[in-house]
Amino acid sequence: MKKKRIFIFSVITLCVLLLCTFLLLSSGTPAKRPNQSPNQRNAGTGTDADGTGDRKDRTNGTRDSADGTGDKANKTGDRLDDTTADQDEPIVSTDRKPARDSNIHVRKSPIALDPKMDTHLAEFCRKAKQLQQDYPHSFLISLPAKGKKVALTFDDGPDGSSMPKILDILNHYQVPGTFFFIGQQMKGFPETIQRAQAEGHVLANHSWSHIRPTDVRSDTLMGEVQRTQDVLAHYGTKTKFFRPPFGLVTKKQMTELIQAGFQTVAWSIDSMDWYFDNPDDIVTCVVENIHPGAIVLMHSSGGPTNRRATIESLPIIIETLRAKGYRFVTLTDKT
């Protein structure tokens, strides 16, 4: 009996010893992890503490500010698609939205263009789509596609001649528009601005002097944007929509625009009213490409014929889209 107890005691002691040895060994061995680059290991969630700029932006931003000159800054803008430069950095967007909607893109012109223009616009579409994917909440190409709604947007105003004619048409059809103003033009046409506002249209920011953002430093652009926003604020505008002249910004500029509270607005349909003289072509560009949530680019001012073709095409566009069941909204529409 005594021998049996000693045997059981010995077995238990041996088991305890084996267990202790196993625990000691396993705590001293690092867990095996998948291969990672140092950057990936340090990335954490991939989002900066301030929640405004992603890691990739900062990498680009450093290069951008070092570049300085307009020409080089433009090349920085082009680096948007240079994935090899950032291959060690995880691509993470700050304004998180998991699914990429392939329907959000700038539509191609339904009318054949000369090959050079075709290539130029295809490149623009590609870069705009990339910005939208990187900043899904802050770089808009279209509105959330809930039903047949469309936003008509008009750039390059205000003025005292063609924009009042555009307003006449919009008011006749009870269609609200969004007007992206060039800041330095606003001083000369307070009546047009006040009229647009009184009639329920949305006023927004198209820079101070119509600079091409990808040609200038970020601080220059932000100065232009803020200066225009100050004048808009004088008219009581609270919305902060910025449309870059020519449609694109650099990633560093995008980060600064987000920090300053702006939404950057491109378009999903280019009416090509800056290119075609024939109103029928402008109608075709809009109507053939129409889709729920479309943002349509048009112009309220400028051009060699002072927007004659835009003014002639606008009533046809409105009537045709209405007949197709579309409802007109502004960029502030939440429905």
Residue of this chain nearest to Zn ion (CB atom): 155
Taken in order 138, 141, 143, 147, the sign of the CA dihedral is: negative
Binding status of residue 156 toward Zn ion by CB under 5 A: yes
Nearer residue to Zn ion within complex by CB, 182 or 283: 182
Select from 9-17, 140-148, 151-159, 247-255 the region that touches Zn ion (CB under 5 A). 151-159
Nearer residue to Zn ion within complex by CB, 57 or 156: 156
Among 57, 54, 52, smallest CA distance to 76 is for 57
Q: How far is the CB of 92 from Zn ion (least distance, A)?
A: 32
Q: Is 299 a catalytic residue?
A: yes
Nearer residue to Zn ion within complex by CB, 64 or 155: 155
Element (H, E) at 288: none
Exposed, middle or buried: residue 314 (CB in 10 Å: 0-12, 13-18, 19+)? buried
Nearer residue to Zn ion within complex by CB, 245 or 293: 245
Query: Binding residues for Zn ion, how many (CB under 5 A)?
Result: 3
Q: Chain centroid to CA 26: how far?
A: 50
Binders of Zn ion among residues 66 to 85 (CB under 5 A) are none
Question: CA-to-CA distance for 181 and 184, rounded, in angstroms?
Answer: 9
Selected binder of Zn ion within 54, 64, 155, 270 (CB under 5 A)? 155
Q: Are 70 and 108 in contact (CB under 8 A)?
A: no
- Residue in 155, 156, 159, 281 annotated catalytic: 155
- Residue in 57, 64, 270, 299 annotated catalytic: 299
Q: Are 183 and 207 in contact (CB under 8 A)?
A: yes
Nearer residue to Zn ion within complex by CB, 89 or 156: 156
Q: Is 277 a catalytic residue?
A: no
Select from 17-25, 55-63, 242-250, 272-280 the region that touches Zn ion (CB under 5 A). 242-250
Q: How far is the CB of 307 from Zn ion (least distance, A)?
A: 12
Exposed, middle or buried: residue 52 (CB in 10 Å: 0-12, 13-18, 19+)? middle
Per DSSP, the residues of 60-109 read HHHHHHHH-SHHHHHHHHHGGG-GGGGTTS----SS------TT-SPPPP
Nearer residue to Zn ion within complex by CB, 176 or 245: 245
Selected binder of Zn ion within 158, 177, 245, 293 (CB under 5 A)? 245
Question: CA-to-CA distance for 174 and 170, rounded, in angstroms?
Answer: 6
Q: For residue 141, which phi and psi values (nearest 5 degrees)?
A: -110, -35
Site track for Zn ion across 186-225, x = CB under 5 A: ----------------------------------------
Q: How far is the CB of 127 from Zn ion (least distance, A)?
A: 17
Which tokens sit at 286? 């809009």
What 3-state class would DSSP assign to 263? strand
Site track for Zn ion across 129-148, x = CB under 5 A: --------------------
Cite the active site residues: 155, 299
Binding site for Zn ion (CB under 5 A): 155-156, 245
